[in-house]
Amino acid sequence: MRETWKLVSYNLRCTWDNDGINSFVHRAGQLLDKLDAEQPEVVCFQEATERIVPFLKRHLPDYELHFRGRNRELDGEGLCTALRKDFTELLDTETFWLSPTPYLPGSRFEQQSEFPRVCQSLTLRLQNGKPFRVYNTHLDHINDEARILGIRQVMNKVLEDRERSELPVFVLGDFNALPGSETVNFCDTFGEFPLKDLTRETGGTFHDFGRQDPPEKIDYIYTDEATARKQHSVVLWKDQHAGIYLSDHYPVCLELETL
C-alpha cells in the first residue's frame, strides 16, 4: 500500500473557439503528460465538456471517469472525476444541483447566473484503505450570495451523509471566491462541521493563461479537522511549455498520508 496518495482539483477551461493558442487542443498533450508523471489517485475536474471528456476517456485508460453535465438534459459543461483504477474503488456516487430542488436537473437558485451549478459526491476507498468522501463542485461566478447558497447546499449534503457514517471529507473545486470574501468566510467558520482550508498558503490559482499577475486564489481544498492533522503537502501545478499552460487555473494537488 502506498504511504501517500494524491487528490487534485483541476479546472480544465472549457473548449472556447476564441482561446486561440490557449485552446484545449494545444494544452491536451501537456495534461496527459502531467497526469502520467504525477499519477494522482483522484482528479476532480471542473469545466469538463462533452468535447473534452471523450478525449480523456480515450487517452486515460488507467482511469475510470465519471461525468455529469449540468443542464436539464444532463449535457453541456459539468464536472468529471477521474479515479485511478488500480488504487481507487468507487463505493457510491451521485450528482446534485445547487438549487432549492437539488435532484431536478438544470435547476438553480434565482440569485445566481443563468448557468446551473452542480456538485459531485463520491464515496471512495483507496487500495487497502478506509472509505472517504469527496465533494467536487464549481460555485457560481456572479456574487457571494449565490455562492453561499451553493456551498451551503454542499455542506448540507456533507451533514446528511455524516448522519449515515462519519468518514473523512474533502470539499474542493473552483469556488470563484477570493480569500476574505463572504463565501470563504462562510466555509472557514461553518460551525456545524468545521473544515480546514488546506490551500491557505498556496497562493493564487487563476492566472488567465499568464495574463493575471498576480494570480487570484479561487480554487480550494477543504477537509475535516482530523484529516487536516495528517501529514500532507499542497502544490500548484504551474507547468508551462513555450507559454502554453495546463489551463487558465493552476491545478491544485494535495498529497496526503494514506487514510
pLDDT one-digit tens code per residue, 191-209 = 999 999 999 999 999 999 9
**Residue closest to 27 by CA, chosen among 40, 6, 42, 12:** 12
Beta bridge partners of 118: 97
Helical ranges in the chain per DSSP H: 24-38, 53-59, 144-164, 182-188, 225-228
Alpha helices in 39-181 (DSSP H): 53-59, 144-164
Q: Give the alpha-carbon dihedral of 185, 187, 111, 101, to 10 degrees.
A: -160
pLDDT at 125 over 80: yes
What DSSP line would sit under 5-19, residue for residue? EEEEEEE-----GGG
The string of pLDDT tens digits covering residues 45-93 is 999 999 999 999 999 999 999 999 999 999 989 999 999 999 999 999 9
Alpha-carbon gap, residue 251 to 235, rounded angstroms:
9
pTM of the predicted model as reported, rounded to 2 decimal places: 0.96
Question: Could you give the CA distance from residue 34 to residue 12 in angstroms, rounded to a whole number?
Answer: 13
- What are residue 56's DSSP bridge partners? none
Which residues, 6+ apart, have CB-to-CB distance to 225 below 8 Å? 194, 195, 196
When mean pLDDT is compared across 19-28, 118-127, 145-154, 171-180, the lowest value belongs to 19-28
Query: Residue 1: which pLDDT band, with cuts at 50, 70 and 90?
Result: low
How many domains would you assign to the chain?
1
Q: Which residues of 24-63 are buried (b: 16+ CB within 10 A; e: fewer)?
A: beebbebbeebbeeeebbbbbbbbbbeebbebbeeebeeb
Give the model's confidence band at 232: pLDDT under 50 very low, under 70 low, under 90 confident, else very high: very high
Cell of 200: 491557505
Residue range(s) defining the domain that contains residue 127? 4-257
Please choose, from the candidates 111, 187, 189, 107, the residue with its C-alpha nearest in 3D space to the C-alpha of residue 143: 111
Q: Domain containing 239 — which CATH number?
A: 3.60.10.10
